[in-house]
Amino acid sequence: MASSDQGSSGAPKPVPGSYGLPVIGAVRDRLDFYYFQGQDKYFESRVERYGSTVVRINVPPGPFMAKDPRVVAVLDAKSFPVLFDMDKVEKKNLFTGTYMPSTSLTGGYRVCSYLDPSEPTHTKVKQMLFNLLLSRKDEVIPTFRSNFSGLLATVESELAKDGKAEFNKLNDATSFDFIGEAYFGVRPSSTELGTGGPTKAAKWLIWQLHPLVTLGLPMILEEPLLHTFHLPPFLVKGDYKALYKYYSTAGKQALDMAEGLGLSREEACHNLLFATTFNSYGGLKVLFPGLLANIANGGEKLHEKLVAEIRGAVAEAGGKVTLGAVEKMELTKSVVWESLRLDPPVKFQYGHAKKDLEIASHDGVFQVKKGEMLFGYQPCATKDPRVFGATAREFVPDRFVGEEGSKLLQYVYWSNGRETESPSVANKQCPGKNFVVLVGRLFVVELFLRYDTFDASVGTELLGTSVVFTGVTKATSGPGS
Ligand code: HEM
């Protein structure tokens, strides 16, 4: 089913599409994106209009925050990976796209996500994060289990009291504590930060992401408030300071190690804060609700299969959740990848063409000039029917199981690279790649060691999916712990 990445037919063509009139075109498109069409339709309708998955479009926010909203969008599985090729694209200052939040939100530093691999600091910071994750690898399973079994106990008490339990709120508090404890051995809620960490973090995240979101308020309020000017950084200074204090104290060992890599303690700490709060916490805030929603919608038949696989592997490991046991859970792993494919938590990727390029889609080859901004909307690429067939838009839990299934993994792009490739200091692939797939699986394991099945209602919220538990059926067999 997967189409070849090799070769492309015909002579190179100019990229079709239109940016419309200056300023007016970009503002009009922004309104389509947020209010009149919504994200998916915005991109799909332009692919349809121009009959091409490589197309010239404007991306939000546009005036007055972005100097230039014009991009060449790559919207299929074949053209998208140009964004992973460090010989072809430069990834300096474009983590959030055509605008960059003020560096006063990150202590005056351009943190790792905004650095191109050609910049020496990128290597040092990314190495610091690899070292940190490696040094804490044995802590991940026990820390995950203690934090998330606590979350599920709260779900049960809220269900008993109110008949429902809002997952997102509990996940925010738990994921924030879990990450702090997993990386540094200190739960943020047990420090001076108290239980206020997730709220402070969410506020700071909004200050960076507001140009790209809608809060569901009337357009007349949101346009001037969120999409035209940057929110003033001084309004989150206090929140940032409190977060920084936690990292500078709890992260002492990591900071000692960073100094050994040639980073100043201060630059390392702002980077630790960003990688932990924005990259990791921001990621899990979106990942777990999306995964839970897909599993809830998968229904009882899927739950039964997961129960059998998970409890079988844990029983074989003497009743313990070990890395070896988790590795044996093929369906569980496939479910996590399928959720990352269907709902990639980070949907936009950008890169400036380093030289004149030819980009191949399934249907042709297109010319792009040096300096042009390339943009990928990941859901279009990872739901490409030319690769994933008629079920491309559906959640197929066992899609990646077995030899045939694993051939499709090269088309899973959530980490800003192929799932078959690895992050390194020389590329921009997410250094948390293995950690994320592991905690995704641990989440499913925890759920089905504890429950035979569960019910939940699924909706949407600011950054993704919202899930409310409406019932759980406690485990009737197996290791159960
Ligand atoms: C980069 C996704 C979790 C640290 C990225 C990028 C994506 C991504 C798409 C590339 C952005 C770009 O340059 O266009 C995710 C998702 C996560 C997650 C979906 C969770 C669900 C983590 C974790 C860490 C992390 C746990 C902890 C170390 C980073 C860093 C970068 C990055 C530092 C910049 C890499 C570089 O500059 O080479 N992530 N990430 N992320 N991620 Fe993750």
Question: Residue 103: its pLDDT value, please?
Answer: 98
Per residue in 383-404, pLDDT (tens digit) is 999 999 999 999 999 999 999 9
User: Is the ipTM of this structure higher than 0.90?
Assistant: yes
Atom of ligand 1 nearest to the CA of 350: 14
Per residue in 334-387, pLDDT (tens digit) is 999 999 999 999 999 999 999 999 999 999 999 999 999 999 999 999 999 999
User: Best mutation site among 94, 128, 171, 279 for ligand 1, i.e. most ligand atoms within 8 A of its Cβ?
Assistant: 279
Give the number of other Cβ atoms within 10 Å of residue 28's Cβ.
Answer: 15
Task: Quote the CA–CA distance of 155 and 135 in Å, as a whole number.
Answer: 32
CA–centroid distance, 116 to ligand 1, in Å, is 14
Question: Residue 463: its pLDDT value, please?
Answer: 80
Give the number of other Cβ atoms within 10 Å of residue 380's Cβ.
Answer: 21
Q: Exposed, middle or buried: residue 11 (CB in 10 Å: 0-12, 13-18, 19+)?
A: exposed
CA–centroid distance, 407 to ligand 1, in Å, is 24
Per residue in 70-81, pLDDT (tens digit) is 999 999 999 999
CA–centroid distance, 273 to ligand 1, in Å, is 13
Report the candidate in 95, 54, 34, 352 with the shortest Cα–Cα distance to residue 223. 34
Question: Residue 4: its pLDDT value, please?
Answer: 41
Task: Quote the CA–CA distance of 143 and 123 in Å, as a whole number.
Answer: 29
Task: Quote the CA–CA distance of 384 and 341 in Å, as a whole number.
Answer: 10
Q: What single-letter amino acid sits at 257?
A: M
- Residue 409: pLDDT over 90: yes
Q: What is the DSSP letter of 373?
A: E
Mean pLDDT, the chain, whole residue set: 96
Looking only at the bridges linking them, the beta strands covering 348-353 and 89-90 are antiparallel
- Assign 476 a pLDDT band (cuts: 50, 70, 90): confident
Q: Are 167 and 148 in contact, with CB atoms under 8 Å apart?
A: no
Residue 446, CB-side half-sphere exposure with 13 Å CA sphere: 21
Residue nearest to atom 37 of ligand 1 (CA): 113
Question: Residue 118: its pLDDT value, please?
Answer: 98
Question: Residue 9: its pLDDT value, please?
Answer: 61
CA–centroid distance, 429 to ligand 1, in Å, is 7
- Name the phi and psi angles at 420, rounded to 5: -90, 0
Locate 84 and state its tokens: 């992973």
Report the candidate in 436, 399, 433, 400 with the shortest Cα–Cα distance to residue 416. 433
Residue nearest to atom 42 of ligand 1 (CA): 430
Locate 11 and state its tokens: 């002579």
- Assign 464 a pLDDT band (cuts: 50, 70, 90): confident
Atom of ligand 1 nearest to the CA of 83: 14
User: In degrees, to the nearest 5, what angle opens at C-alpha 33 toward C-alphas 30 and 34?
Assistant: 90
pTM, two decimal places = 0.96
**Residue 247, SS3?**
helix
Whether a cis peptide bond, with omega within 30° of 0, leads into 274 is no
Question: Residue 477: its pLDDT value, please?
Answer: 76
Residue nearest to atom 20 of ligand 1 (CA): 283
Question: Residue 481: its pLDDT value, please?
Answer: 45
Q: What is the DSSP letter of 62?
A: -
Task: Quote the CA–CA distance of 417 and 86 in Å, as a whole number.
Answer: 11
Residue nearest to atom 28 of ligand 1 (CA): 432
Per residue in 161-203, pLDDT (tens digit) is 999 999 999 999 999 999 999 999 999 999 999 999 999 999 9
- Name the phi and psi angles at 292, rounded to 5: -60, -40
CA–centroid distance, 145 to ligand 1, in Å, is 23
Contact residues of ligand 1, CB 6 A cut-off: 91, 95, 112-113, 115, 122, 126, 129, 275, 279-280, 283-284, 287, 345-346, 349, 414-416, 428, 430-432, 435-436
Residue nearest to atom 17 of ligand 1 (CA): 283
Residue nearest to atom 1 of ligand 1 (CA): 430
Please give the residue that has the higher pLDDT: either 214 or 118: 118
- Assign 239 a pLDDT band (cuts: 50, 70, 90): very high
